[in-house]
Structure 1
């Protein structure tokens, strides 16, 4: 009888694997590929972006992976934010001038929708495309949300792919807005109230 895959905290030894899994998982993501449409640029920049956006999860023991790094989720605990300075530097160095203004509006929209009170933030969750459809995302989500419920704290994310909205809704997230500017894809802020 096969055992269910385990979820564990990703330590420094598997940080690179977790980041690579997220890079693979976002390879067809509308927002990521709008920002970096050239495949070589995407592969060069995205690992650094993932690290800036959700990398602090590794320091807090809240970067979760399934067996073999097949799926990964970077959760930021209450009070922990992405590395805004590094994200800004990445954008400044790499973004095409024609989308700079739209990115600025999207970033402002993200700040406006971000909850003010204590909350867990999920900047990034993805499965290696080779393992999609195996329930690994649901496993990661349940693992983290159990802690949110134990602590009685809300969870928040922005979905950059409309195909994922129903997945998040099944896990109790509700759409709380819509962020879009010019040529940008829609970013959907979603909140799971404290239970």
Structure 2
């Protein structure tokens, strides 16, 4: 049976943040810049903040109908979070906030195509890995961006993700090492 994808709603936020928490609990980027104590809860809460305050009101977000995968995109002119939301983000990063700030400063110099949307997050539950759900989410989300004529970019800190993104037309435009043991690849996908 084909995977069915629908637009994420406010009612999905608890499940979506749980999915993304599970998906990113062992991810190099979040391991590096999110405090270790209560790590899964911190990641899930961060994902909820970003979905609720950025993706839902300003971007596009989708979930599969079985509740095992999520993808979200943000437009180039997404407003900065409010002071209250920013304070929550700071709190959730904990003792690794300085790493995040230094990384964001360095990464802000990397190229981004004019008018391109960012693939902000994509994740599936561990039990759904290898089932094609990530591919279905990518196809759905990128089809919507293509219809609107938007280019897209992303950052990944896992080299094994590169072939997946390359299958969807992304190309590596930069690679940087942060703190010596974390790599980040910036990838671009031109509009159709």
Shared topology, TM-score over 0.5? yes
- Residues 121 and 84 of structure 1: is their aligned pair in 2 closer, same or farther, counting only changes over 3 Å? farther
Quote the residue 1:57 is aligned against. Answer: 55
**Partner residue in 2 for 1:111:** 108
Please name the residue that 1:186 is paired with.
183
Normalised TM-score (structure 2): 0.86
Of 4, 10, 13, the match for 1:12? 10
Change beyond 3 A, Cα 1:51–1:114: farther
Cα gap change, 1:82/1:190 in structure 2, threshold over 3 Å: closer, same or farther?
A: farther
Q: Which whole-Å CA distance do the structure 2 matches of 1:190 and 1:141 have between them?
A: 15
Q: Distance in 1 between matches of 2:2 and 2:68?
A: 13
Q: Is the 8 A contact 1:160 1:186 kept in 2?
A: yes
The partner residue of 1:28 within 26, 29, 32 is: 26
Change (3 A) 1:169 1:54: farther
What's the counterpart of residue 96 of structure 1?
95
How many Å separate the matches in 2 of 1:156 and 1:15?
A: 24
Query: 2: distance between equivalents of 1:84 and 1:124?
Result: 20
Secondary structure at the residue paired with 1:124?
Answer: strand
Is the alpha carbon distance of 1:54 and 1:129 closer, same or farther for their aligned partners in structure 2, counting shifts above 3 Å?
Answer: same
What TM-score does the superposition give when structure 1 sets the normalisation length? 0.85
Structure 1 window deviating more from structure 2 (149-158 vs 175-184): it is: 175-184
Unaligned ranges ≥5, structure 2? none
Q: Match of 2:72, SS?
A: strand
Residue aligning to 1:145: 142
Structure 2 equivalent of residue 73 of structure 1: 71
Structure 1 residue corresponding to 2:167, chosen from 166, 170, 173: 170
Unaligned runs of 5+ in 1: none
- Give 1:177 deviation, angstroms: 0.9
